[in-house]
Amino acid sequence: MAKPLQVEVYNPNGKYRVVSTKSMPGTRWINLLICTEKKTILSVEDIISLIGNKCDGVIGQDWGERLFSALSRAGGTAFSNMAVGYNNVDVDAANKYGVAVGNTPGVLTETTAELAASLSLAAARRIVEADEFMRAGLYDGWLPNLFVGNLLKGQTVGVIGAGRIGSAYARMMVEGFKMNLIYFDLYQSTRLEKFVTAYGQFLKANGEQPVTWKRASTMDEVLREADVISLHPVLDKTTYHLVNKERLSKMKKEAILINCSRGPVIDEAALVEHLKANPMFRVGLDVFEEEPYMKPGLAQMKNAVIVPHIASASKWTREGMATLAALNVLGKIKGYPIWADPNRVDPFLNENSPPPAACPSIVNSKALGLPVSKL
């Protein structure tokens, strides 16, 4: 039996009842909706008790059959993940109960790519190790060999999954650090290729070494050739343990591996063994296989930089995610159609004008036969 919860209620006499299972930043989403809950991580039982007998929609994360069934019994038809990745949502169960599932694409792209770039730099230049050394009072004076790391300029950055975030990260590393690009994706990223070509021409015209790009035909090609490899695919059956013991062994001994996608894309136990055996190999991780836990040994590895799933944690992005999630739920409740292009959600984020009368991004709109907006 769930304990009674302290709930913050906005607009108690409102026509609809929408629940947010996590406290979200900013106020725009509240103005667009709702009520929120102070506690941060709720159990399934807590959420069911919050849904109660009447609930039109919910914003949350990690939803399965029991929650969709409870929402449907309470008359609800709308759920939005406050995230772009929805591997943590049982969309088949949502379809079964006729519940629309929203996500928050686009607004996280640059913020997440920036964290991947930050981890790349932190790993390459051993920033966390050096910070710990300094705080421990171990610094005696400048030494030629103190925390020597890797220069990125002229090296090769490898991107696995060159979608929105992977492409943004690739552009940052190519333009910011003049790295050459090799990428692997199921689809060609023509815009990214054009960007690198144009930047290479610009550098050449200025008498500098041009940057280059290559679309790899296999992932192993990226692993063999790149000096820094960043993972940005969705998590599904094809990407589970995409990086395993065998693939780690194909990477350069001094390579850097970054993961801001989903933890299970890497076999984390195999990674810990690889880090132990290869002290010059470095890793930057935002996500973990069994969050919030880490596999034994990872926390002790000096060659790992580890942060708690904060890739999308910039103020602008988190407020934007909350806004998109609220608009997904609100739009569905109001019977609005679905926005035609989830890669172009800017009109929903402009605080100076009312949002379009549409749901920004509903991932199961086709399965539910929901109409597409003509806007």
Ligand X SMILES: O=C(O)[C@H](O)CO
Q: Which of 17, 262, 274, 282 is catalytic?
A: 262
Q: Report, in Å, the least distance between residue 239 CB and ligand NAD.
A: 5
Is 100 or 223 the residue whose CB approaches ligand X more closely?
Answer: 100
Q: Which stretch binds ligand NAD (CB under 6 A): 65-73, 195-203, 258-266, 299-307?
A: 258-266
247 flagged as catalytic: no
Task: Give the burial string for 251-280 (b: 16+ CB within 10 Å, else e).
Answer: bbeebbbbbbbbbbbbbbebbbebbeebee
Q: Report, in Å, the least distance between residue 106 CB and ligand NAD.
A: 7
Spatial CA neighbour of 364 closest among 332, 335, 333: 332
Q: Report, in Å, the least distance between residue 133 CB and ligand X.
A: 31
The C-alpha angle 68, 74, 77, rounded to 5 degrees, equals: 55
Q: Which residues bind ligand X (CB under 6 A)?
A: 83-85, 108, 312
108 near ligand NAD (CB under 6 A): yes
Q: Which two tokens stand for residue 98?
A: 């006729």
Q: Which of 73, 125, 241, 309 is catalytic?
A: 309
> Which strand ranges, in their side-by-side order, compose the sheet holding 18-20?
7-8, 35-37, 18-20, 57-60, 78-81, 100-102
Which positions from 238 through 257 interact with ligand NAD, judged by CB under 6 A?
238-239
Is 78 or 165 the residue whose CB approaches ligand X more closely?
Answer: 165
Q: Report, in Å, the least distance between residue 114 CB and ligand NAD.
A: 11
Which of ligand NAD, ligand X, none has residue 228 at its interface (CB below 5 to 8 Å by kind)?
Answer: none
291 flagged as catalytic: yes
Look at the block and give the residue holding tokens 């914003």: 59
Which positions from 68 through 97 interact with ligand NAD, judged by CB under 6 A?
84-85
Spatial CA neighbour of 147 closest among 162, 126, 172: 126
Check: CB of residue 337 under 8 Å from CB of residue 362.
no
Q: First vs last Cα of the chain: how many Å apart?
A: 46
Which positions from 36 through 65 interact with ligand NAD, judged by CB under 6 A?
none
Applying CB under 6 A, the site for ligand NAD has a residue count of 30
274 flagged as catalytic: no
Among 68, 177, 184, 336, binds ligand NAD (CB under 6 A): 184
Task: Give the burial string for 16-34 (b: 16+ CB within 10 Å, else e).
Answer: bbbbbbbebebebbbebbb
Which positions from 22 through 41 interact with ligand NAD, judged by CB under 6 A?
none
Among 214, 224, 252, 309, binds ligand NAD (CB under 6 A): 309
Q: Report, in Å, the least distance between residue 335 CB and ligand NAD.
A: 27
Angle, helix 44-51 to helix 65-73, in steps of 10 degrees: 10
Look at the block and give the residue holding tokens 């772009």: 84
Is 54 or 344 the residue whose CB approaches ligand NAD more closely?
Answer: 344
Is 97 or 240 the residue whose CB approaches ligand NAD more closely?
Answer: 240
105 near ligand NAD (CB under 6 A): yes
Q: Three-class SS of residue 178?
A: coil
C-alpha 19 chain-centroid distance: 23
Q: Which two tokens stand for residue 21?
A: 């299972």
Number of C-beta neighbours around residue 192 at 10 A = 22
Spatial CA neighbour of 286 closest among 270, 315, 266: 266
Among 37, 56, 110, 185, binds ligand NAD (CB under 6 A): 185
Q: Report, in Å, the least distance between residue 268 CB and ligand X.
A: 17
186 near ligand NAD (CB under 6 A): yes
Q: Report, in Å, the least distance between residue 368 CB and ligand X.
A: 22
d(CA 96, CA 151): 52
Among 42, 47, 123, 165, binds ligand NAD (CB under 6 A): 165
Among 20, 72, 261, 361, binds ligand NAD (CB under 6 A): 261
Which positions from 208 through 237 interact with ligand NAD, judged by CB under 6 A?
232-235
Point out the residues that are catalytic: 262, 291, 309
